[in-house]
Amino acid sequence: MNQTPEADSPGDGKISRRDLLRGAIALGAGAALSGCGTGRATQNLKLKTKDSSNLVRRENERPGSRDWMLERTRIDPATKYRCPWIEGYCSRTSARAGEKMSFHVST
């Protein structure tokens, strides 16, 4: 029995290769054009990055101390690594002005 391929009818639920290619091209063009704009977002990002790096630089220029460094660290004889005993730690790694931070100390 010889059967000739029939054209896909609109109601059969199949997508033709031509329609698939059209959709892929449309998606690609949409993705490429979505990056085109006035450049305002890029300018705002540059300003924020510049301000952020300036804040870090200003913080690093401030005087500091080494009081935060652990002083009584020990080497565990069994593992030859630093002993896992905790001398102290903070509940947060950073905080903004007015935020609360807890200190946990074992002596």
Query: Residue 91: which domain range?
Result: 17-105
Report the number of distinct structural domains present in the chain.
1
Has residue 3 got a pLDDT over 80? no
Please state whether 94 falls in left (phi above 0), alpha (psi between -120 and 50) or beta: beta
Q: Does residue 4 lie within any of the structural domains?
A: no
Q: Does residue 88 lie within any of the structural domains?
A: yes
Has residue 39 got a pLDDT over 60? no
Q: Does residue 10 lie within any of the structural domains?
A: no
Q: Does residue 67 lie within any of the structural domains?
A: yes
Which long-range contacts does 95-100 make (Cβ < 8 Å, 24+ apart)?
Answer: none
Mean pLDDT of 25-42: 71
Q: 45-95, pLDDT tens digit by residue?
A: 565 656 666 888 888 898 888 777 777 778 888 888 877 776 788 888 888
